[in-house]
Amino acid sequence: MLPEPNELLATARVVALPLVTRFRGIDVREAVLLEGPAGWTEFSPFVEYDDHEASAWLAAAIDYGWNATPAAMRDRIPVNATVPAVDPDSVRAVLARFPGCRTAKVKVAGGDEPLSADVARVRAVREALGAEGRIRIDANGGWNVDEAEHAIHALAPFDLEYVEQPCATVDELAEIRRRTKYMGIPIAADESVRRADDPLAVAAAGAADLLVIKAAPLGGIRRALDIVAQAGLPVVVSSALDTSVGLAMGAALAASVPSLEFDCGLGTASLLAADVTRAPLLPEDGSIPVRRVLPDPALLDRYAASPERTEWWLERLGRAYAVLAEAAARTSAG
């Protein structure tokens, strides 16, 4: 059952949080926070996503704010550091924001940067972490198959834990996995799960060794758990540069996954220069706690988005709600 639109709007607060380092091409992360019967929740699809895609994020927000979370199997979640597309000299400062983390996810394949810049960044991470640290790279689908093969060869000497979304399509992932299988470097799928019409297609095609799962774009914790169960592959639970409220949703998902083999991408509050709570979900000793987050009214006021951006987000929320309501009506009629 969907709450009434007025129930959502009654508590909606739109915030604009500055980032420490430019990430995904933005310097400020905007989000809508909502308070439901179960607690605070977050609606923050990236601005380029259409209303249909944004509706899954709203479904997740409603699920987390209006329903109890599944039973937790753990009370802390080990997390990785996230290294944006920074120059090598900035790597140690980034890693310092993730105390105790022994795994780093490094962004590669960014825009106009040459492969040599990716190599230099990953080398700097390896030097900072030492031989015992784990390094995973994330290309966000930025390479074609030939580029991905060349890049994986160039980066393999740094002992990669896995390569996340090296190519954009499921067919390309299957091909690069076939070409590089002899190297023993697993291929992980992210966008091919969370942005796909069929999030199970990548597993069915044998195109990945593990899946990156995010609660918000998959429609919520329960929907994500269903995908995990059907896919039958190891998973990494990650975030989408959320506030600590959204990260709490991700932590609740990670806490309820039956098997958690990998450190999770839920330490990204460290990339924010500000948050909505006095007790943010920042990594401590390489992990974050599993708990709900209560926003601080003063911080909601301090980082309130402009009236124009607030109106934009609330209108977007309304459109996403309309998509969910239409889908619910079709289901009821069927």
Condensed to tens digits (0 to 9), the pLDDT of residues 44-92 reads 999 999 999 999 999 999 999 999 999 999 999 999 999 999 999 999 9
242 in a labelled binding site: no
The answer for residues whose C-beta is within 8 angstroms of residue 293's C-beta and 6 or more apart is 40, 244, 245, 247, 248, 276, 277, 279, 280, 281
107 belongs to the catalytic site: yes
Looking at every residue in the chain, the average pLDDT score rounds to: 96
Ligand-binding annotation for 138, yes or no, is yes
pLDDT at 24: 79
Task: Judge whether 63 is annotated as a binding position.
Answer: no
Which of 107, 121, 194, 222 is flagged as catalytic?
107
Residue 61 pLDDT: 98
Given a cut of 80, whether residue 111 has pLDDT beyond it is no
234 vs 194, residue with greater confidence? 234
What is the tens place of the pLDDT at every residue in 155-175?
999 999 999 999 999 999 999
* Residue of 194, 214, 222, 223 marked catalytic: 214
Q: Return the CATH superfamily for domain 76-289.
A: Enolase-like C-terminal domain (3.20.20.120)
| CATH 3.30.390.10 domain residues, the chain | 5-68+297-333
pLDDT of residue 112: 82
pLDDT value at 334 more than 80: no
Percent of the chain whose predicted confidence (pLDDT) is above 70:
100
Position 147 scores a pLDDT of 97
Q: Which two tokens stand for residue 232?
A: 């039958």
Residues of the chain with CATH 3.20.20.120: 76-289
The answer on pLDDT for 196 being more than 90 is no
For the range 25-33, what are the long-range contacts, defined as Cβ-Cβ under 8 Å and sequence gap of 24 or more?
A: 29/241, 29/243, 29/272, 30/305, 30/309, 30/313, 31/242, 31/243, 31/245, 31/246, 32/61, 32/313, 32/314, 32/317, 33/243, 33/245, 33/276, 33/295, 33/300
- 214 catalytic? Reply is yes
Q: What is the mean pLDDT of residues 296-304?
A: 98
Evaluate whether the domain defined by 5-68+297-333 bears CATH number 3.30.390.10: yes
Q: In the predicted model, is pLDDT for residue 230 greater than 80?
A: yes
Beta bridge pairs of residue 213:
237
CA–CA separation, 211 vs 98, rounded Å?
23
User: What pLDDT does 197 receive?
Assistant: 85
Instruction: State the pLDDT at residue 57.
Output: 98
Per mean pLDDT, which range of 16-30, 50-64, 218-232, 289-303 is the poorest?
A: 16-30
